[in-house]
Amino acid sequence: MRIVLVGPPGAGKGTQAAFLAKNLDIPHISTGDLFRANISQGTELGLKAKAFMDAGDLVPDEVTIGMAKDRMEQDDAVNGFLLDGFPRNVAQAEALDVVLKAEDMQLDAVLDLEVPEDEVVKRIAGRRICRNDSSHVFHVSYNAPKSEGVCDVCGGELYQRDDDSEETVRRRLEVYHTQTEPIIDYYRAQNLVVTISALGKVDEVTARAMDALKK
């Protein structure tokens, strides 16, 4: 299966993607994670991306599209993938279509996670992520780790992302509305969009998502 996940920052894309990818046995490809890995490794690409990310802006397409394409062309992605955070604007969606067409492939679904804006801000402000594995995500009150600052899964250090400050979150939401939401119409025209509510417990949302994808 080839799936694109969309939804505002804080919708739980990363959390859901980890579960869905496991259930569906396809790799989880997150451009945000790829950028953060590049930043922590100090690569040139990471250096280019960091200032945009810290400001809550999109990293320029010429950097992002090449990186996403390289990842999709790796061996583990031949039978499908779950894209999380890509495409994030219409130009990226068009570029993805070109990549897919060249391989005679198609998307199966675009899963749209819906969540009210005030909830998004609350979720992001309390979000803490494991340094070892970004799919280990906690929240200081909604999903608190057993021991403060320590990952329940692997014992790694929990930290707050640089772009999770309230000011940057507002900018990221604005960018989402103006640049990313238009891809939902783009994919609606291809009859690919399934919208589900991202409210409720993590496993409830996963079940809802699996149900929607079966249809």
Interaction of residue 165 with ligand ADP, rule CB under 6 A: no
Taking the complex as a whole, the smallest distance from the CB of residue 83 to ligand ADP amounts, in Å, to 9
Q: Give me the residues paired with residue 30 across strands.
A: 84
Q: Give the Cα separation of 194 and 1 in Å (integer).
A: 15
Cβ proximity of 176 and 58 under 8 Å: no
Binding to ligand ADP, residues 121-150 (CB under 6 A): none
Q: Which span (38-46, 48-56, 111-119, 142-150) binds ligand ADP, by CB under 6 A?
A: 48-56
56-74: burial string, b at 16+ Cβ within 10 Å, e else: bbbbeeebbbebbeebbee
128 is a catalytic site residue? no
Query: What character string, x for contact with ligand ADP (CB under 6 A) and - otherwise, covers 65-104?
Result: --------------------xx-x---x------------
Choosing from 129, 172, 187, 209, the residue that interacts with ligand ADP (CB under 6 A) is 172
2 is a catalytic site residue? no
Nearest to 35 by CA among 10, 15, 8, 58: 58
Q: Give me the residues paired with residue 153 across strands.
A: none
Interaction of residue 15 with ligand ADP, rule CB under 6 A: no
Enter the tokens of residue 184. 């939902």
Enter the tokens of residue 146. 């057993």
Residues at the contact surface with ligand ADP, assessed by CB under 6 A: 9-10, 13, 31-32, 35, 52-53, 56-59, 64, 85-86, 88, 92, 163, 172
**Residues forming the active site:** 13, 88, 127, 161, 172
